[in-house]
Amino acid sequence: MTILEVLIAAVLLTFVVLGTLASISRAMNLMNHARMITLSSQVLQSAIEDLRLKNYSNLKAYAAQSQPRDFTSFITSELLSSTFTRTMTLTANFTTVYSSTSTRQGKISVIFTLTWRESNGTFTRTALTYFSEMGLSDYIYVGF
C-alpha cells in the first residue's frame, strides 16, 4: 500500500512541478513582450524627437521622396542598438498636409511604423505626429 501511495504522490508532484515550470515560462515570455512594447514606444518617441531637431526644409525633402522612408539605420546609429532592437525595422510615411503659401504655413504629417519579431510572431507599433513650418508652440505670450 505504501508503494502505491508514494507513486501517486510522485505523479501529483510531477504535475505540480511541470505546471509551475510552464507558468514561469509563460510569465517570462509575457514579461519580454511587455519589455519590447515599452522599448518600441521609446524608439518611436526618440525618432520623433530627432525629427523635431531638423529644419522644416529637411522634412519637406523627405515628403518629396518615395514613401515609406526607411529609418532603420536610426536605431543602429543611435545609442538604441542592443540585442532587443536587432529585429526592429523603422519606416516613416511623410505626407504634406498643407503646402506653404503666402497665407498659410506648411504642415507635414509623419506616421512612424516600428516592426519587430519575437518568438511568437511579428508585432507593430505606429505613431502619428505633425510638423508645422514655424515649429511647435505650446505656450501663448500675452502682451501687457
**pLDDT at res. 115:** 93
pLDDT digit string (tens) for 32-90? 899 989 988 988 888 888 888 888 888 899 999 998 998 888 777 766 777 777 888 89
Residues with Cβ < 8 Å from 47, sequence gap 6 or more? 71, 74, 90, 92, 112
DSSP 3-state assignment of 135?
coil
Q: How far apart are CA 107 and CA 70, in angstroms?
A: 21
Alpha helices in the chain (DSSP H): 2-52, 56-64, 72-77
**pLDDT at res. 140:** 46
This prediction has a pTM of: 0.74
Do residues 108 and 94 touch, judged by C-beta distance below 8 A? yes
pLDDT digit string (tens) for 76-90? 776 677 777 788 889
Going from N- to C-terminal start, the domains of the chain cover 2-132
